[in-house]
Amino acid sequence: MSNPQQLRYSKEHEWLSGAEDGVSTVGITEHAANALGDVVFVQLPEVGTTVSAGETCGELESTKSVSDLYSPVTGEVTEVNEDVVNDPSLVNSAPFEGGWLFKVRVAEEPADLLSADEYTAFSAG
């Protein structure tokens, strides 16, 4: 499993892209997708909602369990991935591409986000 170097990662297993015009993309890592199993339902925050770093902002349901979705940053949700809502399996098949979850206009980014190498070491246990 290879974590893209250009992303940053939370200890709750979400990834965050670099900001483009102040907006970053959020998804869950391949490690988290594999641990969840086949994702069958995704509940994402609504556009316009303010999310807070480390706080629950949605839910992922798989054939194994239900898991909370945490925001890696504080900001306003600007877009949700309707493709994932309609086809939750994208979270498993393309966690770093088509399986992204939402976009957020970042107001505050915590200092404890991890680099790809740090996250790989963290998720290895």
Report pLDDT for 1: 59
Stretches where the chain sits below pLDDT 50 are none
CA atoms of 37 and 64, how far apart (whole Å) = 6
pLDDT score of 2: 83
Question: Amino acid identity, residue 65?
Answer: S
Q: Are 75 and 25 in contact (CB under 8 A)?
A: no
Task: Tell me the pTM.
Answer: 0.95
Q: Could you list the beta-strand ranges (E) of 29-72.
A: 39-43, 50-51, 56-62, 66-70
For residue 7, the 8-state DSSP code is -
Structure tokens belonging to residue 5: 């170097």
